[in-house]
Structure formats: structure tokens, C-alpha cells
Amino acid sequence: MPKSNGHRKETAHTIGQLADTVSRAGAQIADTASRAGATAGKTVTASAPTGVLQQSVQNLAGTLAERAVAGLAGRASRTADRLTDYAEGRGGNLLAAVTGVEKLAGGASPWQAMMSAGVSKLGHTVRETFEGVKESLTGGKGKGGTTKLKLTNIVEHIDVGVPIDLAYDQWTQFADFPKFTKKLEQVEQVSDEKLSWTGKVFWSRRTWESTILEQVPFERIVWRSKGAKGYVDGAVTFHEITPDLTRILVVLEYHPRGVFEKTANLWRAAGRRCRLELKHFQRHVMTEAVLHSDDIVGWHGEIHDSEVVEDDETARRRETEDDRGEEQTQETEAEEAEQDEEEEVDERNEDQRATDEDKQREPSRHRTAARKSPVTRRSRESEGANR
């Protein structure tokens, strides 16, 4: 037992000397790297007397030297710690302490230990790479273990130079979308609130179904979708800026599921596709629909909570009655305004006649008074003579 302690003390002393040797070797490497940088700087100065280039070479040499010393010092420190543990009897053997391979401490051969360490490191690297790719494609977990949203938020708007009713009617003609868009191939109106879509993604076709949750004529449409390879939820609203200018605001939630969809989503392909399709809609409305507005018959029904509360026929009948009521109201208001104007004219005429009559009466009074005044004076004079 004393021999073992003495042997370990000698080993510890040897380890200290090894650490000092490593430190001196690191210092020599740093000094050599510094000299190499200075020599390179002199060489560059002699060949091309450029101060900026010389300074860059010196900085590069210094950086390389610092990295080499830092790496060597770190390895030496870890090796010294393992040797110290071995010297203090904390397990392992001398070869494992020097190489840092844990398998050697369990009695494995050096070749098996190195192969096991290499495979373990390779597996760890592959696992980290796979997790990174997986999180890039599918989302992953955020801080605190909460799941991140696996969707793409898209917000776009366009201004269309047509009245709001024409823009809304053209939008509700879903079956016409493939005529002026690029990636939509077919849209089937299953019912008033359900639609079936077929689109093209790269070289493959994708189908999905959408259900309209809320639809208010000339205001908004909100829908939800479902599909095996991905789907799009969203809403569209219509805003009248002027009688001949309408703003259409589109908000989408894109949920990619297929390999193509997730790969394309890394480059925000869905957002660019949405912008392009909206421009196609804008072009179609302002060049085609505006010239044949009478041929476009939209759906004017109303939907709430995925249920049709008013169908298109009832809505159009109500709109016709409302239009007639508005026309009658306008006619009644016009008649009342005309009657009020006539009464006001009559009142003005009566006031004018009364004013004219008053003006005619006032001179006659003055003339009568003038005629009576001489007679009165003569009568008074005759009365005085008689007296």
C-alpha cells in the first residue's frame, strides 16, 4: 500500500511536469506563429508595399496562433485532469486517461474503444442534423416545451377599379377561378357552403375541401379546409374605397403536410403564389369582368356557423323588394320636396301680393288728405266771416 501511494505521487509529479511541458510547448507555438506572421508581413511588404494587406496578414497569423494555443491548452487541461483522477485512484487506467477514450477503462482494446467513440460521435452528429432538418420542415418545440405553430401566415391585399358588388360577384364565382389562375385546375361547388379544390404542386396534384363558416354579401367570407397533403384556412373581406374602387383583403393560414409542400414552404412559396393569383384576379376583373358585368351573377346568400340562413333566391328577392322600397321612398321624398317647394312659392307670391296692395293703399290715403285739407280751410274761413 505505501508503494502504491508512492507510485501515485510520482505519477502526479510526472503529470505536473507534463502539464508544464505542454504549457511551454503552447508558448513556443504561439511565439512561432507570431514570428511566422511577422515574416509573412515582411514578405508581403517587400513584394507589395501595401499597409492594409500587411496588417491583414498579421491579424490572420495572430488569430491562427491564438486558436492553436487555445485548443492545445484546452486539451492539455482535460488530459491533466484525467491524469490527476488516475493518480488519485478514481478509477480507469493510464491509457484511458491519456487518450480520453472511456471504453479503455472498461477493459476494451484501444481499436475497439476508438471505433466505438467514432461511431458514437457520428451518430450524435447525424441525430442533431436530422433534428435540425425536422424542426425546419415541421416546426418543433419552443421554449418551455410548448409546440410551435406549424402554419404559414399570409396577408395580402389588392385594389380593383370596379364597384364593390362586381368585385364580390366575381369572387363568389369559384368555378371560374381555374380560368384565370395558374395552379388551380378545378373547383367544384358541392353545395352552397362546401367546395372541392384541385391544384398543382410541382409535378403532383393536390385536392382539398373547404367549408364556408361565414359569408355576408359584399362584406366577408370566412372558411376552413382539410386535406391529406395540406390545406388553407382563411378569410377575405371587401371594402369600398370609392364607388368605382374596391379593396380586397386576404388573410390565409397555410398548413403544409406533404414533402413537396414543406420543402416549398421553406422558401415561402405559398405567399408568393397567393400574390401572383391575386394579381391574376385583379387583371381578370379589370379587363374582362368590367366589360361583361351583366353576365356575372354572384351568390348573394348568407351563411353563419356553416349553415345557410338565407339562400341566393331569397336574398335576391329581398334585394329587389328593398330596391323597390328605396325607389318608392325616393319618389315619395321627391314628391314631398316638390310639393313643399310649390307651397313655398305660393307663400312667397302671397306675401308679394300683400306687399303690393299695401303699397297701392298708402298713396291714396295721402291724396285724400290733400284734397280734404283746402275744403276744411275754406269752411273755417267762411265761418269766421259770418261771425
DSSP letter string over 240-257? EEETTEEEEEEEEEEEE-
Strands (DSSP E) contained in the chain are: 152-160, 184-189, 194-201, 204-216, 220-226, 230-242, 245-256, 302-304, 307-310
350: left (phi over 0), alpha (psi -120 to 50) or beta: alpha
Residue 306, C-alpha cell as written in the block = 356553416
Round the CA-based radius of gyration of the chain to a whole number and report it: 49
Residue 299 to residue 175: CA distance in whole angstroms: 12
pLDDT for residue 26 = 56
pLDDT for residue 356 = 76
Chain center to CA of 205: 26
Residue 63 to residue 78: CA distance in whole angstroms: 23
pLDDT for residue 117 = 52
Strands (DSSP E) contained in 137-229 are: 152-160, 184-189, 194-201, 204-216, 220-226
Helical axes 269-287 vs 164-171, angle rounded to 10°: 120
Q: Which residue, 110, 85, 84, is CA-closest to 95?
A: 110
Residue 231 to residue 139: CA distance in whole angstroms: 16
Exposed/middle/buried for residue 303 (C-beta within 10 Å: 0-12, 13-18, 19+): buried
pLDDT tens for 252-300 read: 998 888 776 777 777 788 888 899 999 999 999 999 999 999 999 999 9
Q: Which residue, 215, 210, 181, is CA-closest to 299?
A: 215
Half-sphere exposure (CA, 13 Å, Cβ side) for 310?
14
pLDDT for residue 231 = 86
Q: For the chain, which ranges sit under pLDDT 70?
A: 1-54, 56-58, 61-62, 64-66, 68-77, 79-149, 260, 361-387
Answer yes or no: are the C-beta atoms of 278 and 158 closer than 8 Å.
Answer: yes
Residue 354, C-alpha cell as written in the block = 300683400
pLDDT for residue 316 = 92
pLDDT for residue 48 = 47
